Amino acid sequence: MPLSVDERWNLIEKISKQTVEFGARKHTLKDAIAELTVKPLTGIPVAIAVLYGIWSFFVDFAGTLFTDGFMVRLFDEHWLPFLQNAFHNNLDNWAYRLFIDAGHIENGVLVASDNCLEAFGVLTSGFFVPFGVVLWAVLAFYLMFALLEDVGYLPRLAVLVDTVLHKIGLHGYAIVPTFLSLGCNVPGVTATRALETRKQRFLMITLLSVFVPCGAQIGIMQDLVPELMGWIFLTLAIGYLGFGFILNKIVPGKSPEIIMDVPPYRMPMMKNIVSKLWVRTSRFLLVAVPFVLLGCLIVGLMYLTGAMDWLATVLGPFLMSWFGVPEETVSPLIAGFLRKDLAVGMLGGLMEQGIMTTFQVFTSVVLLCIYFPCLATFALMLKEENWKEFLGSIASLVAMVLVYGGLIHLVGIMLEVA
């Protein structure tokens, strides 16, 4: 006769009492630290300190040391001039403008670009964005992520945020795909397979696609608008939790409790760190880089054929009235579907021309973050979700962008009035 659940637990307890012996256990410093990092009163300040440390390393390693200190000089002072001189700065040639330098208008005249970020050629921006900016951001982020994982802190962070994430239908383990997406959304979406129910996977994929910027965006945003980064992340965090709470109420299904092993703290193993770093970074190189090059090519073709101007004319009035952005930002918003980091770079040129106010810059950057996921993530969503879930994700994306973007515009109007 099969035993009930209660009878099974009673039998387990009876057997354990007969077979398990408990001896004296010495409480070590490592045990004390382990306990302090899972209790909210002490664990939250530690978590804030850890996140601040990750961000500081990210900025100093990726931004200051490699991108600004080396890669910008390499691309802007050597690679771009080499290509421009080799092909005689021929801005009248469509292939030159597509692959090397699209140029920009100054006083009604088309002139050559002086940096790779704004050249928007397949061989200039297409190479500078992934290898000059994003690669170092991804390396810095995944290095810190692998260290936290190997030390044993990540499971404790999952326990710490479990209560908050339960409010939006997820549990503490959702912090893992969220963190992975800060490097690249592609492995973040893949990591949602570890969540137990289809409801949790749907919620996680939808929220990742909207409110979690990838390392490519973060790296370029940090370079263009470092003074706005705090406000941008605060706005995205509010949207992540707020819309997650709403979706949890609407989407049917179960959200089970967290069941995971919390290992003791231990010294990280170099072999593990290198292996994880290679696997995650190689996935970025194999999946994301081709889409960066493809995005540059398609955006360039749209500009040369006039398709971008046509879309800007059709969509411009709605985007300008609903989101409160200037006409010139319509093209970057459209290009954001193909490659968000490239679109953020396009905003940089508008900022230098003084076309946008500070709040319009903030609004445009947030819109590019919460806009449709990049093409690579979009393709993976098709693979990971069935057609009902995919259509539901798209409907949720559209609703969240319109509602949240409209609210941000409303806040801007209130600030102007005040």
pLDDT class for 213, splitting at 50, 70, 90? confident
Asked if pLDDT for residue 337 goes beyond 70, the answer is no
List pLDDT tens digits, range 370-381. Answer: 877 776 677 778
Q: Using alpha carbons, select from 160, 3, 133, 120 the residue that is nearest to residue 59.
A: 133
Residue 14 lies in a domain: no
Domains identified in the chain, total number: 1
- Mean pLDDT to the nearest integer, 317-323: 84
Give the separation between CA 390 and CA 384, rounded to whole angstroms: 9
Contact 311, 334 (CB under 8 A): yes
Asked if pLDDT for residue 33 goes beyond 70, the answer is yes
Give the separation between CA 31 and CA 36, rounded to whole angstroms: 9
Residue 2 lies in a domain: no
User: What is the DSSP annotation of 188-208?
Assistant: HHHHGGGSSSHHHHHHHHHHH
Residue 138 lies in a domain: yes
Q: Using alpha carbons, select from 417, 414, 409 the residue that is nearest to residue 324.
A: 409
Give the separation between CA 133 and CA 128, rounded to whole angstroms: 7
Tokens (6 digits) for 272: 């593990």
Residue 325 lies in a domain: yes
pTM of the model: 0.76
Tokens (6 digits) for 187: 């492995």
Give the separation between CA 134 and CA 219, rounded to whole angstroms: 6
Query: Which bin fits 28, alpha (ψ -120 to 50), beta or left (φ > 0)?
Result: beta
Residue 304 lies in a domain: yes
Asked if pLDDT for residue 164 goes beyond 80, the answer is yes
Tokens (6 digits) for 83: 């290509």
Stretch (H or E) spanning 113 = none
% of the chain exceeding 70 in pLDDT: 91
Residue 12 lies in a domain: no
% of the chain exceeding 90 in pLDDT: 3
Which range has the worst mean pLDDT, 102-111, 155-164, 261-270?
102-111
Residue 7 lies in a domain: no
List pLDDT tens digits, range 177-208. Answer: 888 888 777 778 888 887 888 888 889 988 98
Domain extent for 227: 30-417
Give me the amino acid identity at 330.
Answer: V
Residue 18 lies in a domain: no
- Mean pLDDT to the nearest integer, 383-395: 84
In degrees, rounded to 5, the angle at the alpha carbon of residue 18 between the alpha carbons of residues 17 and 19 is 95
Q: Count H helices and E strands in the chain, helices first.
A: 23, 2
Supply φ then ψ for residue 123, to 5 degrees. Answer: -85, -10
- Mean pLDDT to the nearest integer, 216-244: 84
Asked if pLDDT for residue 162 goes beyond 70, the answer is yes
